[in-house]
Structure 1
Amino acid sequence: MAWNNEHKKKTREKILTSAARLFAQNGFDHIGINDVMKDAGLTRGAFYAHFSSKAELYAESIITAAMSTGRKTDPLNPEAPSFDGLLKTYLSMEHRQGNLFRCPLAFLTTDITQRDDQVRDAYTRVFKGFVNNLDKHSVQQNGTKDTIRSMQQAVMLIGGLAIARAINDDELAKELLSSCHAALATPTI
């Protein structure tokens, strides 16, 4: 008996949710299809009904992770915090540790450079969306779009978090995140 479309959709979402979390936490090379499927509570055989390769899964999981992150931090989301709240959430020790969410832009920065175009395209789309959301927030705040400033903000957010994750000194990481927050909270970078 064939599964109905709703079951297939939910199974695919379950796989993507597991993959998004596991890849962001461990990177592409340290997570296998078996790991993702086990975490999703499924068998490896179910994988190929939804994805043709691990790379395809990785690319789609980047978008899934970003959408999941975006709900919590998107400044345009009516339930999202103010821009300052966004900074506090994104540039927090909890985010650094992956307790709140795992932004694929910061968590996978160095991993992406080693991947194929399909994966890099997904990362690029997510980055453009991130900058676009910052642009829209800027327009809401001051009525003008400033893409250069939004790109600078994106780089400081993503880079600050990525470096804070890379260093093993918690106090230095806190200071770094706080410094990024202070710089972004001021009118100009």
Structure 2
Amino acid sequence: MKISKEKSEANRAALVETASRLFQQKGIDGVGVAEISKSAGLTHGALYAHFPSKEALAAEALAWSLEQSNAKLYSGTVDGEPDLERFLCDYLSVDKRDDYADHCAMAASASEIGRQDVAISSKFTEGYLVLVRAFERRVAANNPGADALAIAMGIVAAMVGGLSVARATAKARPEVSAQALRGVRHIIDAALRKPD
């Protein structure tokens, strides 16, 4: 029985969104296609009708998740630029630290992306560079003459790494986790500040 184009598109979207959530919660290597298919309410066959491999699904799921994150970045603007203050408060919060399924696919997957194929690495890199460009503009505006690109790359790396460290320490030492988040925010604020 042939399904409609609309149903096929809905199935594909369900697979991508479900895979994104599960990959963030359990890691790309920590979840199989059977679990993804079942969680999306579909069969293995439906998954493979849309994606030739788990890696292809992972690349699209990562891209989708990063698009969602970047949409949040650009959802609020100040003078036509992303509201980085709001974004940082949200990104480096304890609530978001504990939200693996719906917050920062980069922090959830950074340690394992290097072991994945080039398609997945490319999607990660694209998402990283979107964030870098947003911070680069702010650094350049606040501090003309600074190496805005290098500083912005460091800011985003600190955000992703800091969130990863905060997650890794939260169960054993919640106070260390919270201090890591505050420390990263302090470093970022200093990097974004206009010189006196």
TM range (shorter): 0.7 to 0.9
Q: How many Å separate the matches in 2 of 1:99 and 1:123? A: 16
User: 1:19–1:61: 8 Å Cα contact kept in structure 2?
Assistant: yes
Alignment RMSD (CA, Å): 2.4
Residue identity opposite 1:78 in structure 2: G
Task: Name structure 1 gaps, 5 residues minimum.
Answer: none
User: 1:63–1:126: 8 Å Cα contact kept in structure 2?
Assistant: yes
User: Could you tell me which residue of structure 2 aligns to residue 155 of structure 1?
Assistant: 157
Q: How many Å separate the matches in 2 of 1:133 and 1:64? A: 19
Q: How many Å separate the matches in 2 of 1:102 and 1:37? A: 22
Matches within 5 A, 1:69-80: 69-72=69-72, 74=73, 76-78=74-76
Paired-residue identity, %: 27
Q: How many Å separate the matches in 2 of 1:187 and 1:103? A: 21
User: 1:20–1:62: 8 Å Cα contact kept in structure 2?
Assistant: yes
Residue identity opposite 1:55 in structure 2: E
Structure 1 residues 28 and 99, CA gap change in structure 2 (3 angstroms): closer
User: 2:27–2:109: 8 Å Cα contact kept in structure 1?
Assistant: yes
User: 2:132–2:152: 8 Å Cα contact kept in structure 1?
Assistant: yes
Q: How many Å separate the matches in 1 of 2:56 and 2:70? A: 21
Structure 1 residues 99 and 27, CA gap change in structure 2 (3 angstroms): closer
Structure 1 residues 18 and 100, CA gap change in structure 2 (3 angstroms): closer
Structure 1 residues 92 and 84, CA gap change in structure 2 (3 angstroms): same
User: What whole-Å deviation, never above 9, does each CA across 1:109-133 have from its counterpart, x for those lacking one?
Assistant: 1111111112112211221222123
Larger Rg: 2
Q: How many Å separate the matches in 2 of 1:46 and 1:136? A: 43
Q: How many Å separate the matches in 2 of 1:137 and 1:37? A: 42
Structure 1 residues 146 and 77, CA gap change in structure 2 (3 angstroms): farther
User: Could you tell me which residue of structure 2 aligns to residue 93 of structure 1?
Assistant: 94
- The Cα shift of 1:38 comes to 1.3
Structure 1 residues 54 and 100, CA gap change in structure 2 (3 angstroms): closer
Task: Name structure 2 gaps, 5 residues minimum.
Answer: none
Q: How many Å separate the matches in 2 of 1:187 and 1:41? A: 46
User: 2:77–2:83: 8 Å Cα contact kept in structure 1?
Assistant: no
User: Could you tell me which residue of structure 1 aligns to residue 85 of structure 2?
Assistant: 84
- The Cα shift of 1:178 comes to 0.8
User: 2:22–2:101: 8 Å Cα contact kept in structure 1?
Assistant: no
